[in-house]
Amino acid sequence: MAGTFGNPEVVQEEVDILIIGGGMAACGAAYEIMPWIGAAKEAGVDITVKLIDKAAMDRSGAVAQGLSAINTYIGPNQDPADYARMVSNDLMGITRDDLAYDLGRNVDDSVHLFEEWGLPIWKTVNGERFDGATWPKEGGKLLKDGGEPVRSGKWQIMINGESYKWIVAEAAKKALGSDNIQERVFIVKLVNDANDKNRVAGAVGFSTREDKVYVYKFKACLLVAGGCVNIFRPRSVGEGQGRAWYPVWNAGSTYTMAAEAGAELTMMENRFVPARFKDGYGPVGAWFLLFKAQATNAYGEVYMTKNKELLNDYPPYGQAAVPASCLRNHLMLKEMKEGRGPIYMDTVTALAKLRETLSPREVKHLEAEAWEDFLDMCIGQCGIWVGENIEPEKKNSELMPTEPYLLGSHSGCCGIWASGPEDVGAPTTEEHPEADKIPAHLPQGWNWGYRSMTTVRGLFTAGDGVGASGHKFSSGSHTEGRMCAQSMVKFVMDNKDWVPTLDTSVEDLVNEIYQPVRTFLEHKDYTTAIDVNPHYITPRMLQFRLQKIMDEYVAGVATYYTTNGHMLAVAEEKLGMLKEDAQKMRAKDLHELLRAWENYHRILTAEAHMKHIQFRKESRYPGFYYRMDYNLVDEENWHCFVNSVYDKNTKTWNVFKRAHKDLVDKSKLFKPAAH
């Protein structure tokens, strides 16, 4: 029966494995899972799978607009342990070495697949560089056969990536099969099992194109719906609702749905504040790493050199060969606060120096690469350059730290506490009958049998969802999705006779999903202007309120990323009132229903972020945020994970410490501190 607005058709389905999301992690799982399902069938267990994407896989996720580099590629001559060391240092020492190391030893295989599927990777052949669009008649072997990539950094390789996501999505769709993919359905809520509250049994969402609500039951679920954008007021006003550095459709759905299901979160105080080209949010990585450009203040001074003594305030992280990302921001912010802005990327000097050693043909190619970097992944920045008459070889461009983002796959590590590899981490004490025999060098509570399963049985995550393990980027997220595919099939086989039972009725789920629609239909005629009504608030207005609270009280751009205990208490009170008012959000159409549910997810994610900063009484990430009442990195008391569990019934948070442990020797990273 066809649904109507306010009375949607209800579609119920049961599958063994549900994949929620369409980004790189989801594509990795989709590509990898069918052979494992085939193996299960040979063992006598039939397993069904379905992928649900809020948008369309071709352009879903953080890679949607393209990329100019793959930022995680180890290569045959580097050690995954060194990669784990880098991840730890860049995130100020609090990461899961088991997760980072496991990723490092597996990620190259995904990159090799990308190249096989048609992704052009820049190579060096006999000393000459080729950009993937052109290729020599001889040489140019595939990476896996010994081809030498053009590296822009120790772990980064250059690509022609404007079609990166199309290529990866095509392979995923072919592998999984179109019958197992449902696009334009927004999953907004996980449902626990009626007989086991620490287990997921289902999920519910709605079509963004038709009046339909979908209710799924399953044995296992992969929750990979990205990070969180637009909880802070963006620097770009007005058009900023659609212009940010991270993809605007990432609404914290991963974190909120996992938290409401009872999953333990970790490091939700962490955020990423990237320095980017002003207004267009254009990437800076290639300019720093490939073109060797430097950032200066308005007087042409290189602030990383001018302010380098500040790095000694944060040992050992400031003494690494490459200081932590937040500390590089810290040095920039000193210039801005003391009135020596604007900050510039010195593109003119960088390109001039490169011309000194290049032929005219190579110079022309280089200038094309300067534009290609944006055309691959942030075409809006090209518009800024054109609109402001900027030629990078003649005029420098402004840099600016952005508003904060919450993510777990880039230079950030907030997310969900996930099970690590069995050969690196130790089993949890509760499930290990001989816990006293666990080797002392292995941390307890980091592994419970299935790679990337959360603390809720049957709920897996990858990419932005896995906390305490940043710097996965696109290739790493794809790799983690592939790991989850194997883990989920194993979990289903181990629980083949288990039958999911939802702890909430379908009727109640449908009523909850469509409440914003019914609020609108009930009250829309009370006023002559439907956007002004005492009985409801529009999703757009509610989002503005959320962004204002977070920006002004939880260390946004308005306060130069500073906060304190008193400001956080105000934020806590205002977020509480906002949550009440959110129950009165309206949805005049399916698009607004989507925006309403994105707001629900953003609010709870924002609250988790605030609660964690409130709990951690130090400033672990100077340059990303400062708690001015605890403006130091306190290694003695806070070299630990901050984790939390949300109770959806009481709507309260339990925030607590978890012990940190290094599994790789970090001393190799650091040089002696200057005196």
Q: What is the pLDDT of residues 381-399, one digit of tens each?
A: 888 889 999 988 899 999 9
Residue written as tokens 């980017």? 276
Which one-letter amino acid corresponds to residue 11? V
Percent of the chain with pLDDT over 70: 94
pLDDT, position 654 = 97
More confident residue, 487 or 360: 487
pLDDT, position 240 = 55
Q: Check residue 534 and report its DSSP letter.
A: T
Contact 633, 622 (CB under 8 A): yes
- pLDDT at residue 126 above 70? yes
- pLDDT at residue 354 above 90? no
pLDDT, position 435 = 45
Q: How confident is the model at residue 433 (pLDDT cuts 50, 70, 90)?
A: very low
More confident residue, 272 or 128: 272
**Euclidean distance between CA atoms 376 and 621, whole angstroms:** 30
- pLDDT at residue 543 above 60? yes
pTM for the whole thing? Answer: 0.95
Backbone angles phi, psi at 185, to 5 degrees: -125, 125
pLDDT, position 135 = 66
Q: How confident is the model at residue 157 (pLDDT cuts 50, 70, 90)?
A: very high
The residues, ordered by sequence, that sit 6+ positions from 580 with a Cβ below 8 Å of its Cβ are none
Q: How confident is the model at residue 513 (pLDDT cuts 50, 70, 90)?
A: very high
- 10 Å CB burial of residue 505 (0-12, 13-18, 19+) is exposed
- pLDDT at residue 497 above 80? yes
Our CA dihedral for 364, 299, 274, 605, rounded to 10 degrees, sits at: -150
Which one-letter amino acid corresponds to residue 444? Q
pLDDT, position 141 = 80
Residues 169-179 pLDDT 10s: 999 999 999 99
For the chain, the first-to-last Cα distance in angstroms comes to 76
Question: Coil, helix or strand for 288?
Answer: helix
Residues 33-47 pLDDT 10s: 999 999 999 999 999
Residue written as tokens 């400062």? 626
What tokens were used for 505?
């009725």
pLDDT, position 142 = 85
Q: Check residue 228 and report its DSSP letter.
A: B
Interval 431-458 mean pLDDT = 73
The residues, ordered by sequence, that sit 6+ positions from 92 with a Cβ below 8 Å of its Cβ are 314, 317, 324, 326, 620, 621, 633
What tokens were used for 647?
């109770």
pLDDT, position 442 = 61
Our CA dihedral for 138, 109, 266, 331, rounded to 10 degrees, sits at: -10
- 10 Å CB burial of residue 79 (0-12, 13-18, 19+) is middle
Residues 255-302 pLDDT 10s: 999 999 999 999 999 999 999 999 889 888 888 887 889 999 999 999
* Average confidence score pLDDT of the chain: 92
pLDDT, position 441 = 56
Q: How confident is the model at residue 468 (pLDDT cuts 50, 70, 90)?
A: very high
Which one-letter amino acid corresponds to residue 318? G
The residues, ordered by sequence, that sit 6+ positions from 529 with a Cβ below 8 Å of its Cβ are none
